[in-house]
Amino acid sequence: MTATNLFQTRPIGADPHAQGRPFRAYTHRDLDRITAIRHLPAEQRFAMKVVSAVLPFRVNEYVIERLIDWSRVPDDPIFQLTFPQIGMLAPEQFERVADLLRRDAGPAELEAVVSGIRHELNPHPAGQRELNVPRLPSGELVTGIQHKYRETLLFFPSQGQTCHAYCSFCFRWAQFIGDKALRMATNEAQGLHAYLRQQRCVTDLLLTGGDPMVMKTRHLEAYLQPLLHRDFEHVQTIRLGTKALSFWPYRFVTDPDADGLLALLERLVAAGKHVAVMAHFNHWRELDTEICEQAIERIRATGAEIRAQGPLLAHINDEPDAWARLWREQVRLGVMPYYMFVERDTGAHHYFKVPLVRAWEIYREAIQQVSGLARSARGPSMSAGPGKLEISGVADIGGEKVFVLRFLQGRNPDWVHRPFFARFDPDATWLDDLKPAFGEREFFYEAQYRERWTG
């Protein structure tokens, strides 16, 4: 902390670590060293080892001590959100790995089985790797970038390819399992800037990851400070996708380069950029700590906005009241509700999935409880290959029960906000499960999507 702290807001009470604490993470190798889980049944701890041999696991002391209510484990939503659970693998997959661990199989044998299971879990949903990587005029591929929607460019800085903790439902889980070939990162500030210079239609740059807030401030500066040059006037908005407000709010308050980070945000705002922290929240409990409130206040004091988004998940937040309370708390703290997502069809999808009809009911029943300021949350939205699809509702049209859908974002902007219809299916959990209504052969966008984007 510097002597003159421009962003100091108010003293913090109950948090014994309010003056800061060093970051310490635990991964699957450290499960036996986590004191908080030592009292759990041996069988449950063994199950955690099995699941975390396949799916990424990382947690830190703040999440363990301040977010999880251990008296409510295993049902506690933050425990479900971060710790591996037996149901996250299919019984048959679980048994294959459990068997190897029980007989202490060698690393090569384990790796072969684990890798096979990972490939069964649809590691790269929605054609993320192949479909969205752009080229420079020279023909060179710009790695670490996805350009799917005209206005917004996604950038995956290499120093931000991890998170302060991992979500058990992460849709980018395949990036975190050590297979470098599966990563989407880059350390190429130059490539990013060259691409942005020529793409005058891009108004928003969205740094994502992993979590860009894992990066040191000086790395963030190297990417962002150059955008104040007039070559980048068209880039009006800089978005930072992060879960640090949930998993490590100290990043904005007491970490050694927290003040530097806030000063950077302030400079970008002062130079006329809209800076938006795109915070990932799943449960109101994540907002319910002093340090998180402090972090929010300090970010907002720079002139940056905070918008909040997150998926709807079984075992974590599949109740209207949980969402209404989350959105109300956000508005109270000056955070704008943005998207409610449908969990993608990857990783432990079968554990977290919620039928689309239920997702819509939860959204609707939550929205009805809150004021208009919290109704800025849109959804439930499926981020699929062709675009972001909202389930607008269920209707009865001429005697046929249908889902009413529309694009909130589309690969072709012309698809956006045209209502269309799918046959009602109470079990559908993802776009792939839906069939066109009224005897149509395919949805209105499908022929074009096939032709222009999937070859």
Interface residues with ligand PLP (CB under 6 A)?
146, 148-149, 152, 154, 206, 383, 388, 409
For 177, the token pair is 């399992």
The residue with tokens 């908080």 is: 36
Minimal distance, residue 417 CB to ligand PLP, in Å: 12
Residue 23, exposed/middle/buried by CB under 10 A (0-12, 13-18, 19+)?
A: middle
Minimal distance, residue 56 CB to ligand PLP, in Å: 20
Of 357, 363, 405, 358, nearest to 380 by C-alpha is 363
- The span from the CA of 180 to the CA of 172, in Å, is 13
Would you say 15 or 390 has its CB closer to ligand PLP?
390
Q: How many residues does the chain have?
A: 455
Minimal distance, residue 52 CB to ligand PLP, in Å: 27
Residues 6+ apart with CB under 8 A from 455: none
Minimal distance, residue 204 CB to ligand PLP, in Å: 6
For 54-63, b where at least 16 C-beta lie within 10 A, e where not — what string?
Answer: bbbbbbbbbb
Of 82, 47, 118, 44, nearest to 313 by C-alpha is 82
DSSP assignment of 187-200: --HHHHHHHHHH-T
Would you say 97 or 238 has its CB closer to ligand PLP?
238
Residue 27 near residue 58, CB atoms below 8 Å: yes
- The span from the CA of 34 to the CA of 428, in Å, is 38
Any alpha helices (H) in 199-345, and if so which ranges? 217-224, 244-247, 258-270, 290-301, 320-332
Would you say 149 or 156 has its CB closer to ligand PLP?
149
Would you say 146 or 317 has its CB closer to ligand PLP?
146
Q: How close are the terminal C-alpha atoms of the chain, in Å?
A: 54
Would you say 114 or 184 has its CB closer to ligand PLP?
184
Minimal distance, residue 85 CB to ligand PLP, in Å: 27
Would you say 44 or 152 has its CB closer to ligand PLP?
152
Would you say 206 or 304 has its CB closer to ligand PLP?
206
Residue 341 near residue 391, CB atoms below 8 Å: no
Residue 9, exposed/middle/buried by CB under 10 A (0-12, 13-18, 19+)?
A: middle
Would you say 96 or 307 has its CB closer to ligand PLP?
307
Minimal distance, residue 128 CB to ligand PLP, in Å: 8
Amino acid at 280: H
**If residue 402 lies in a helix (H) or strand (E), which one and from where to where?**
strand 400-410
- Helices and strands (DSSP H and E) totals, the chain: 15, 13
Would you say 68 or 153 has its CB closer to ligand PLP?
153
Of 34, 25, 36, nearest to 58 by C-alpha is 25
Minimal distance, residue 221 CB to ligand PLP, in Å: 23
Minimal distance, residue 185 CB to ligand PLP, in Å: 16
Would you say 168 or 383 has its CB closer to ligand PLP?
383
Minimal distance, residue 313 CB to ligand PLP, in Å: 18
Residue 436, exposed/middle/buried by CB under 10 A (0-12, 13-18, 19+)?
A: middle
- The span from the CA of 449 to the CA of 307, in Å, is 30
Minimal distance, residue 283 CB to ligand PLP, in Å: 21
Would you say 206 or 287 has its CB closer to ligand PLP?
206
Minimal distance, residue 240 CB to ligand PLP, in Å: 13
